[in-house]
Chains A and B, each alone.
Chain A
Amino acid sequence: MADLTTHIGTLALRNPFIGASGCFGYGLEYADAVDLASLGGVAVKGLFLEERQGHPPPRIVETPSGMLNAIGLQGIGVRRFVAEKLPELRRLGATTIVNICGSTLDEYCEVARILSDHEGVGAIELNISCPNIKEGGIQFGCSLHGTFDVVSSVRKITTLPVIPKLTPNVTDVASFARAAEEAGADAVSLVNTFLAMAIDVETRTPKLSNVMGGLSGPAIRPIAVRMVWECFQAVKLPIIGMGGIATAEDAIEFLIAGASAVQVGTANFVDPFIWGKLTSGLHAYMTRHHITRVADLVGSLRIPTNTHA
């Protein structure tokens, strides 16, 4: 009997499948479609200290096998979250990973402190990678020093697992995973979306109000898998992999590349009932390959040595 539990530092997940931040609301929106307690985790939409309105529409546009978004981190702020959403997430038995944002180091720390004072938070995911907000963390996530500073600052505030979410919009993502590890992160999650753009050629106008946005969906999966593999080789930290996962096979690819868990975002838009299919697909795969624990699959890539013989 295959055991789907997996571990992100001290955080035990029932299975490796997490609703991706920014793609799963505050989790409660999906409670009619899926028992939130049956998920590995729920990564809620990024929270600043205060409420944010986000960008005007159009906020999304579809592209080949993917989509661009520039939502602009619309959100209710951390105080409303702990008052209005967290108790219900607890009641439903969700393992809640709270994605947090900040314009300053102090804001990250204050949001983390508020969350640490409340029951029901499983881990903190540091959003240092949203491509759509200048002052929303990417200024930290695109600099090794900035990444180190955010992680080490929040590390001092909280005993909750701290998981910086890395941007793929850098030359060497593995060096950012190393900076996170040195700063005391419990895990890293990757990848956030790829900065991208689409133009209406008839009107010569951008298809998003924000001009640029983040590309997600199956189009980015091979790049995300490569980046997970690079980070897996570079750090000992657990990795939460994501980027275009739409099937159990896609998720298994990330596990083999080195992810201990995965987040699913865009595919959940298409199929909010995807979660049961992912767990049963992983279970069937593990049974077929006589793998009893997810950990035995993580980073199990086999590279034939005689390829160039």
Chain B
Amino acid sequence: MLVDVAADVTANTQLSPDYNVIALSAPEIARVAQPGQFVMIKTQPGLDPLLRRPFSIFERLRDASGAFTGVSLLNKRVGVGTAHLFSARPGDRVGVLGPLGRPFVPVDPPAEAWMIAGGVGLAPFVTLAEALAERGTPMRLFYGARGAADLHYADWFERQGARLHVTTEDGSRGDRGRVTLPLLRALETTSAHQPVALYACGPTPMMRAVAIAAEQHGRTVAVSLEPVMGCGMGGCYSCVVPIRRGTGRQFVRACLEGPIFDGRTIVWDALTGH
């Protein structure tokens, strides 16, 4: 059920000079949202910025009784809209349209689920980890960022039972280097008889590297893409992703057929505008 909620900001937790988690009162969306779905956010009324921006649903928020109260967004300050979300205060209104998009399909045990996140690409994995924890699926999180200050919620994933592999580009926490390094090690040291499903979200080069590694090791990877998106509803045809279809390729709308895609189907060489 699609709704547009004029949501009150209920909390704004600044995690670092660039990252914050903004909590929005939208129980209608929280109740029905599935792992990896997204919302289209109108950060403020008026014509600047004009269009909504897509955000993964980060958390589904509950009150003490367990009833859904809203959703949160993991936000990184980049442009006008994200700067507004970064500095929003409780009581501010934000337009939340959703939930939208095809969700992740969580695997069941004995398969393992490995999540690979780069920076703000962590956003769709909280809802996925909850669904995996409900199933009792063993989880790992491969989590890369520029530095320790950009790593957030790692302890939350550990509390859900996820095994953590952290990398930073500056070496300030975990292994120094790219997140694909521990992923490759894990792929090489895991028996081919152990079913593993990969889930990735982050910068395009990271997801591409993950998709190649997965293919080399005979694993599937579901990637969550974040293309430029105008409407989120299938109306504007701006968020298209090049997909292999038969012998050719085809542009498909990420808002309708994604944002989650089978990594093997994406024509990575032709993926632009992300």
A, B from the same assembly: yes
A25 interface contact, C-beta 8 A: yes
Q: Is the CB of B240 within 8 A of A69?
A: no
> Which residues of B have CB within 8 Å of A32?
1-2
A60 interface contact, C-beta 8 A: yes
B195 interface contact, C-beta 8 A: no
Q: Is the CB of B2 within 8 A of A69?
A: no
User: Among B4, B97, B236, B250, which residue has its beta carbon within 8 angstroms of that of A23?
Assistant: B236
B184 interface contact, C-beta 8 A: no
Chain A's nearest CB lies how many Å from the CB of B237?
A: 5
Q: Is the CB of A218 within 8 A of B251?
A: no
Q: Is the CB of B237 within 8 A of A45?
A: yes
Q: What CA separation (Å) do A246 and B242 show in the bound complex?
A: 32
> Which of A2-10, A90-98, A164-172, A267-275 forms part of the interface with chain B?
A267-275
Q: What CA separation (Å) do A269 and B47 show in the bound complex?
A: 13
Q: What CA separation (Å) do A57 and B1 show in the bound complex?
A: 29
Interface positions, chain B 250-273, Cβ under 8 Å from A, are 250-251, 256, 270, 272-273
Chain B's nearest CB lies how many Å from the CB of A67?
A: 6
Q: What CA separation (Å) do A66 and B231 show in the bound complex?
A: 13
Interface positions, chain A 49-65, Cβ under 8 Å from B, are 53-54, 56-62, 64-65
A29 interface contact, C-beta 8 A: yes
A223 interface contact, C-beta 8 A: no
Interface positions, chain B 43-58, Cβ under 8 Å from A, are 47-52
B238 interface contact, C-beta 8 A: yes
> Which residues of A have CB within 8 Å of B48?
64-65
B230 interface contact, C-beta 8 A: yes
Chain A's nearest CB lies how many Å from the CB of B48?
A: 7
Interface positions, chain A 189-213, Cβ under 8 Å from B, are 209
A81 interface contact, C-beta 8 A: no
Chain A: interface residue total (CB-CB under 8 A): 35
Closest to A61 in B: B228
Encoded as 1 (CB less than 8 Å from any A CB) or 0, chain B from 1 to 23 comes to 11010000000000000000000
Q: Is the CB of B228 within 8 A of A58?
A: yes
Chain A's nearest CB lies how many Å from the CB of B76?
A: 18
Closest to B235 in A: A25
B233 interface contact, C-beta 8 A: yes
Closest to B271 in A: A57
Chain B's nearest CB lies how many Å from the CB of A270?
A: 6
A74 interface contact, C-beta 8 A: yes
A65-B50, A269-B52 given as contacts; is B233 within 8 A of A56 (CB)? no
Q: Is the CB of B51 within 8 A of A272?
A: no
B42 interface contact, C-beta 8 A: yes
Q: Is the CB of A71 within 8 A of B238?
A: yes
Interface positions, chain A 266-297, Cβ under 8 Å from B, are 266, 268-273
Q: Is the CB of B272 within 8 A of A272?
A: no
Chain A's nearest CB lies how many Å from the CB of B101?
A: 13
B227 interface contact, C-beta 8 A: yes
Q: In terms of DSSP, what is the predominant structure of the interface of chain A?
A: loop
User: Among B1, B4, B242, which residue has its beta carbon within 8 angstroms of that of A272?
Assistant: B4
Q: What CA separation (Å) do A220 and B4 show in the bound complex?
A: 26
> Which residues of A have CB within 8 Å of B228?
57-61
Q: Is the CB of A269 within 8 A of B235?
A: yes
Interface positions, chain A 21-35, Cβ under 8 Å from B, are 23-25, 29-30, 32-33
B203 interface contact, C-beta 8 A: no
Q: What CA separation (Å) do A282 and B2 show in the bound complex?
A: 25
A217 interface contact, C-beta 8 A: yes
B234 interface contact, C-beta 8 A: yes
User: Among B1, B50, B235, B251, which residue has its beta carbon within 8 angstroms of that of A54?
Assistant: B251
Chain B's nearest CB lies how many Å from the CB of A198?
A: 13
Q: Is the CB of B233 within 8 A of A29?
A: yes
Q: What CA separation (Å) do A66 and B42 show in the bound complex?
A: 15
Q: Is the CB of B51 within 8 A of A269?
A: yes
> Which residues of A have CB within 8 Å of B231?
268-270, 272
Q: What CA separation (Å) do A64 and B237 show in the bound complex?
A: 21
> Which residues of B have CB within 8 Å of A64?
47-48
Q: Is the CB of B272 within 8 A of A57?
A: yes
Chain B's nearest CB lies how many Å from the CB of A292?
A: 32
Q: What CA separation (Å) do A272 and B2 show in the bound complex?
A: 10
Q: Is the CB of B49 within 8 A of A56?
A: no
> Which residues of B have CB within 8 Å of A273?
4
In the complex, 10 of the A-B residue pairs with CB atoms within 8 angstroms, ordered by the A residue number, are: A29-B234, A56-B242, A57-B240, A57-B272, A59-B228, A62-B51, A67-B50, A69-B230, A218-B47, A270-B51
Residues of chain A touching chain B, judged by Cβ–Cβ distance below 8 Å, are: 23-25, 29-30, 32-33, 45, 53-54, 56-62, 64-67, 69, 71, 74, 209, 217-218, 246, 266, 268-273
Residues of chain B touching chain A, judged by Cβ–Cβ distance below 8 Å, are: 1-2, 4, 42, 47-52, 97, 227-228, 230-231, 233-240, 242, 250-251, 256, 270, 272-274
**Could you list 16 further interchain pairs (A-B, Cβ under 8 angstroms) beyond the known A74-B251, A272-B235?**
A25-B237, A29-B233, A29-B256, A45-B237, A59-B238, A60-B230, A60-B236, A62-B51, A64-B47, A67-B50, A269-B51, A269-B230, A270-B50, A270-B51, A272-B97, A272-B231
- 8 residue pairs, one from A and one from B, having the closest CB atoms: A57-B273, A29-B234, A58-B273, A269-B231, A60-B238, A65-B47, A59-B238, A32-B2
